[in-house]
Structure formats: structure tokens, C-alpha cells
Structure 1
Amino acid sequence: MRVSNAVPHGVLYDRPMTSMQFVIVAICCLTNISDGVDIAALAFAAPVLVKDWGLRPAVLATLFGATAVGLAIGAFFVAQLADRFGRRPVTLVATGTIVLTMMLTALATSVPQLAALRFTTGLCLGTLAVTLNVMVSEFANARWRNISVAILHSGFSIGTMVGGLFAALLLMPFGWQSMFIAAGTLNAIAFVLILFLLPESPSFIVSRRDDGTLGRLNRALSRLGQSQVTEVPAVAVARGKAKVSALLAGARRNSTLLLWLSQFVFAVISYLLLNWKPTVLVNAGLSPAQAGIAGLVSGIAGIAGHMVAGYLSRDGREVRSTMIFLFMLCFALLWLGLQPPMVGGLILAASFTSFCNVGVFTGLLLIGLTHYPAAVRTASVAMLVGIARLGAISGPVFGGLLLELGLGRDGMFIVLASMALAPLIAMYFAMMGWRRAPANEDVARVPA
């Protein structure tokens, strides 16, 4: 097996994109849309489920928490199997398992059954959150990589929008079970597309160096419409793993700690909203169908939030953009909490909250990517993702606690708006810290 000079970013990085590569990005985006529906399914079904089963908020919080725990374990541990067995088989198994668990959820008759199925679903969703990002980045070339990843992330917002549409059309006539059947059907479509159209990543094939590597690589390249190679390229890999301690070195330490604090507090608020907002809207006077429409409009607002945050973050303005969205989020949370029970006003408040929420999410991730040198950038993003998963576990439980305390919608959202001030203040001081960082600290970009 002959090996050529190292390719620093992947086999397809410097090659033009083919139509098949665009198809693969689209399949990954569809799968992520399905994942958004899966996450939102319980949130939209919750008001009807509570009525049918007589569940207390604390019990419902355990179901949301089961999904979040599964997400964390899947992202941290199960997804690593993709480096051993391949991106395609792990993605295929995770998607197929979701089809099964979503259909079985519609047949569940007890809270323990629902909790077990939501945990398993979360396990697979956490796995896909990693493998889909890896596959899109490995199948796209240099020109299309960033925009392809951005489109992939927008898929989640589209998924919540589709979930809202399903809720508006299905919940009242067919019951809460219909949400999971619809979501499972969408995942089944993604599963079939992955099974028949998605090849293994050429970058993964190259990493498995053995006598059959060249043949497998050329077969994958042919399926992609790419020219074959006569020798296996040596895809460059990082030497050693960047330690988390490097993120806390020198002048960047305080700013890093403030960024992590911001991410955790924001994640608690964000995942609380994701899981409890439909229930809050129904309690405020909307019907489950109207709450579904609110989810649909919120999904559109979320997509806009991704795009606006990306535009405002250009030229090194990631921190300022994030602070703007955090300030607007404080206002949006107060609006949603104090809005009188009028259908139009509640839907507008919920949608503006989603717009701000997604903008903060995008901004914090961009900060982790752009404000650290290449040697620790992966560790930076990994920490942000891990902290977000902790928030995903804490947020739904915290929401259930606030409802159990009987604070009401106004009290609950005043608490959340007050919490959102913490990351806003923290990011201001983090920006000051990055500005003071000396040149020898090798900060990737100093905020303007």
C-alpha cells in the first residue's frame, strides 16, 4: 500500500464538490431535521399527555431529563464508536434505533416505559449530534464546509418547526401518540436514504490503514463522482490531545471560565424553554394545536436567528453579537412571562424568544471556535458542548421545580430573565480579558 504526502484537512478538502456530495449533505440535514422533531415531540405532546395520564410537572420533568441524560452519554461516549467502526454504520444504527424507540413510545402505557424509551432515544440523538457534524465536515470541501455545517445546524430549528406543524395537525384529532409515530416515520425515511445513498467517509477509510484501504477508498470516491487515486493519501492528524488545562493558561483563563459560566447558565435556560414552552403556552390559554403553531413560527424565527447571528458575528465581532442577543433574550423572556393571554401576542413572544435563544447559541459556539488558537480549539468546542449537555439535564428539571413551586408564568420567566443577565455580564468581562491578552498568548482573534 503506497502512501502519498499528508493531506491536512481530509481527502475531499481541496477537490470540487460533486452533486453526490451535496446530496449527502442534504441527507445529513434531513436526519438532523428528524432529530429536531424527535426532541420536540415530547415537548409538544406533553400538555395532552399530562391531561390523559394526570402527570405532575415533576414527573414530566423526569421524562425530559431522561432524554437529556441519554443525549449526554451518547455524545460523550457512544459517538466515539464512529472512530472505531465507521461513521456510516454508527449513524445507521443510531437512526434505525430511533425509528424503533419512537414507534414504541406511541405504545407506552406507563411512565417507566416512557422514561426508558426517551433515554434510549436521547442516547441515539446524542450520538448523531456528533457523527452528523463529522460526516458533513468530511464530505464537504474547503469552500462549502462552513456553510454546510451551518445548514446542518439550521436543520434542528427546522425540525422544531416541523414538530410544531405535526402538533397543530395531529395532536387534537389523533392524540399524543401521533407525534411519535410521525417523528418515527420521518426518521424511517432518513434511515432508508442513509442505507442506500450514504457511503463511508473517505477520511475514515484512509485512517484505517491496511491492504484493502486503496480499494475501499476508490470505491467510495467513485460513488461520490470523484476521480480515483493511485496511492493512499496520508491524512494529517493532530499530535496528541489538547488538554483542557491549556484553555486556562495565561491571560485567557478568566475569560474562559466566564465563557463556560455563560454557556452553562444559557444552556439551563435554553433547554428549559425547549421542553417546557409548549406546556407554558397551553397553561397560558393556547390550545395544543395553537401551541403547535407557535412552535412552527418559532422554528422559522430560529432559522432567522442562526443567519442574523452569523452575519453580526463577521469580522471578529462574535462576543458583541452574543451580548446583543443575550440582552434581547432578557427582554424576550420578560415579554413571554408578562404577555396577557392573547393568542397572537403569545405566539409572537414565543417566536422572538426562539430567535434570541438561537442567536446566543450560535454566538457562544462561534466564540469557542474563533477566540482560541488551533492547538486548543477542539478542546474549547468540546468543553462548550459538554457544558451544554449538563444544562440539558438541569434545565428541564429546573423548569419542573419552578412550576411545582407555583410561581406562575410571570414569576417563572422573571427568574429566567434574571438568570440571563449573568451570561450577559460575564461576556462583557470576558471580552475585556481577551482584549488584554498579549500577542504571545496566541489568541486566535481579539474581538473588535
Structure 2
Amino acid sequence: SLGMALTALTTSVLAFGVLRFFTGLGVGIIVATGGAIVAEFAPAGRRNFFNAIAYSGVPAGGVMASLAALALEDAIGWRGLFMIGATPILFLLPAAWFLLPESPKWLVATGRSMRAQELCLKFGLPESQFLTKPVSREAAAKAHVTPSSPTGKSGFAAIFSRVYLPGTLLIGTMSFMGLLSTYGLNTWLPVIMENNGASAAHSMYTLLFLNGGAVVGGLFASMIADRVGAKAVITVTFTLAAISLMILPFTNNVYLTYIPIVIAGVGVLGTQVLTYGLTSNYFDTSARAAGVAWCAGFGRLGGIVGPMATGLMIGAGFGPTWAFGMFAGVAVIGVICTVLIPKSPAVEQVISTEPTASPHASARVTEGVS
């Protein structure tokens, strides 16, 4: 919020760039920790849907930004639009400070079980789900299961360990491809559509349909992902993106172009939402925040490459067919990476720490599906 407000006051390109970088740091941290805490609180069978609700805020914000620009830019200019972007400090920061609890699972894992119990009582959280601690290697051996942390490490050391490394690299590449297309299309889609014969007004509305399709389609796809698995759904959505982007430049009717654009929104932006959900579920608690940070951070490199590569193609005189073909090819690479992701080595196994449990009950090991 501070970065957005200060950006609105800049008078040079250098200051503008520095403050956008500063703003990006805040956004990146929100994306990483937000996904981790949603995964901590979400019911085991609805994690993809809960993640989709959280991350659909990205394309929903894109819709709101497009509407604000269309309605207000002539009246308040770009500086006023950046001031609107600073308003979360007035309502979202207080809400998060007073209403968002710390993860009880994380508190238990760091030895603060009493604080975790207080939070469960305050917010009505089921103790059987949240008052748990990771299985020790000794307890796991006695129970003939593996520890909840398959690496014995935490953070980035865990996600780049031998156990997680193949999945980490493939998830990073998926996110890179997804955000390459997301930022490339959000930046250049109106220009590409104008080059394809659409009017300036219709070209601006394409962003609304792109992001609107991502919001609705991402939520719907996430509900299916909770039933059949995120990997299968992401494979389908990436494929839909590739097909819709390939046929888009050959759709002559202006209004009919909105159909493949909506599908592309689901397949590109919606897929990125599902990728965050898959990442949150792929890593165990000790590595979850680092895993989501890697997914978001490495993916942001694609968010840099996408607009640059598209701009270079347009500047070099390549037509819409080439631009959409590039995005379709990127989606195909996403399909391949998704198919190759191995099964997660993380298994949710915990020992109950309920205060009322007997000594025998407290040693009970419960195993779930990650």
C-alpha cells in the first residue's frame, strides 16, 4: 500500500521503477505466506478450493483494475488509479491484524501449544485437526509410518533436498510458464487484438473477459481438483489454453473472440491459481511456505519475460498469429511439466496433543492423504 501511494507521487522513471520493485516485494511476500496459511487452515478435502478463493483475488483484482481504468482514468489519471491501489492499508491491514489468526499447526510445531489451544477456542477450530504435532522419527518407526517431514529439514533446504527436488523444479517451471502467459496477455492482449482487427474499445474489454474467465473458471476447476486431484485438472486447463490461443487469431467475429478469450483466462490465469494450490499441498508444513515462495518467486521471472518477449515480437512486426502461437507453445510446455510431476513425498501424519487425551491416546498416530 505504501509503495502504491508513493508511486502515485513520483516524478521520474527511476523513482517509479524503484517503488514498483518495493511494491513487488510486498506483493511477493503476501502471495507466498498467504498460500501457506490458507493451506494450513483449509479442510483436507477442500484445499484446492480454499486456495482458489484466495488466489482468485489476483484475476479479480485485474478485473477491478480494468474497470477502474475504463471508468476513472480520464477523471483522475494514472496517479489517481495508483492511489486507489493504496487503499488496502485503510481496511485490509486492520482486518488482517485483528481477525487473521496465526496457524495453530505452526505454533504447535514451534512449541507454543498453549497459544494454539487458545486460538482454537477463540475461533472455534476443531482441536483434532489443529492441535497436532509432527511425528518424530522414533514414534514413526514404532508406528510403522514415515515422519511428516520426509526430509528432516525445513524451508528452502527441504524443497531443494533430493526428495523434493524433481517436483520443485517442475512446479517452478509450471509457474514460470503460467505467469509468462498471464503477464504477457494482461500487458499486450489489447494491442494484439487491435492488430488482429478489433476496435480499441473491444480490445480493452478483452481483459475483462480474460480475468473474468479466470475467476469463475478457476473456482470451478478447483472444486473438481479436490475430487480428482489438481495435477489432472491442471493438465486439462493448460491444454484448453493451448487450443483456445491457437484458434483465437482465426476467429473473425469480434464477439465470438470472447469465447476463446474466456477459455484462455481459465487455462492461463486459472491454471496459475491451481498451481499455487498444488504447491501448497505438495510440500509438508515445514517446507510449505518456502515451496509457495519458490513457486511464486520463480514464476515471477516468467512474469518479467512474458511482457518483454511479447513486446519484442510486436515491435519486430510479428502478427497476432505468432504472438498467440507463442503463448500456446508455452501452455504445451506447462502440460508436459505437469504430467511429469512425481507423487508428493509428504504424508500428513501427526500425533494428537489434545489436553484431554490419555497417554495412550496421545501416542496415537493418524495418517491422512496429502
Q: What is the TM-score when the length of structure 2 is the normalising length? A: 0.69
1:344 match: secondary structure: coil
* Paired residues, number: 325
- For residue 224 of structure 1, what is the aligned residue in structure 2? 123
The correspondence for 1:412, drawn from 323, 333, 339, is 323
Per-residue deviation, residues 101-120 of structure 1 (Å, max 9, x unmatched): 21222232322122112111
2:208, 2:17 → 1: CA distance? 26
- 8 Å CA contact 2:238–2:331 kept in 1: the answer is yes
Equivalent positions of 1:280-359 (< 5 A) are 280-281=192-193, 285-287=198-200, 290-291=202-203, 293-313=205-225, 316=228, 318-340=230-252, 343-359=254-270
Equivalent positions of 1:99-118 (< 5 A) are 100-118=2-20
- Structure-2 change in CA distance of 1:337 and 1:422 (3 Å): same
1:234, 1:368 → 2: CA distance? 22
- 8 Å CA contact 1:247–1:380 kept in 2: the answer is no
Q: Which moved more, 1:193-202 or 1:219-228?
A: 219-228
1:246 match: secondary structure: coil
- Tell me how far 1:356 sits from its aligned partner: 1.6
1:353, 1:399 → 2: CA distance? 16
Question: One-letter code of the match for 1:392?
Answer: G
- For residue 156 of structure 1, what is the aligned residue in structure 2? 58
2:317 match: secondary structure: coil
Question: One-letter code of the match for 2:327?
Answer: L
- For residue 162 of structure 2, what is the aligned residue in structure 1? 246
- Structure-2 change in CA distance of 1:377 and 1:356 (3 Å): same
1:330, 1:143 → 2: CA distance? 29
Does residue 187 of structure 2 align to residue 271 of structure 1? no
1:335, 1:104 → 2: CA distance? 42
Equivalent positions of 1:340-419 (< 5 A) are 340=252, 343-362=254-273, 364-365=275-276, 378=288, 383-419=294-330
Does residue 82 of structure 2 align to residue 180 of structure 1? yes
Equivalent positions of 1:419-438 (< 5 A) are 419-425=330-336, 427=338, 430=340
- Tell me how far 1:128 sits from its aligned partner: 0.7
Per-residue deviation, residues 186-220 of structure 1 (Å, max 9, x unmatched): 4532123234444555455556658xx84x66765
Does residue 138 of structure 2 align to residue 236 of structure 1? no
Q: What is the TM-score when the length of structure 1 is the normalising length? A: 0.59
Per-residue deviation, residues 121-161 of structure 1 (Å, max 9, x unmatched): 11000011122223334455657655433321222222222
- Tell me how far 1:325 sits from its aligned partner: 2.2
Per-residue deviation, residues 374-421 of structure 1 (Å, max 9, x unmatched): 699847666544432332232222222222222133332223223433
Does residue 46 of structure 2 align to residue 135 of structure 1? no
1:193, 1:176 → 2: CA distance? 27
Question: One-letter code of the match for 1:332?
Answer: S
- 8 Å CA contact 1:167–1:292 kept in 2: the answer is no
- Tell me how far 1:355 sits from its aligned partner: 1.6
2:262 match: secondary structure: helix
1:409, 1:358 → 2: CA distance? 20
1:153, 1:236 → 2: CA distance? 27
- For residue 18 of structure 1, what is the aligned residue in structure 2? none
Equivalent positions of 1:62-77 (< 5 A) are none
Does residue 25 of structure 2 align to residue 123 of structure 1? yes
- 8 Å CA contact 1:369–1:377 kept in 2: the answer is no
Question: One-letter code of the match for 1:352?
Answer: I
1:190, 1:236 → 2: CA distance? 32
- Tell me how far 1:302 sits from its aligned partner: 0.7
2:126, 2:267 → 1: CA distance? 44
- Structure-2 change in CA distance of 1:220 and 1:261 (3 Å): closer
2:124, 2:14 → 1: CA distance? 48
- 8 Å CA contact 1:281–1:291 kept in 2: the answer is yes
1:282, 1:401 → 2: CA distance? 17
2:338, 2:90 → 1: CA distance? 42
- Structure-2 change in CA distance of 1:382 and 1:201 (3 Å): closer
2:86 match: secondary structure: helix
2:173, 2:48 → 1: CA distance? 27
1:262, 1:386 → 2: CA distance? 12
1:314, 1:140 → 2: CA distance? 12
1:234, 1:422 → 2: CA distance? 39
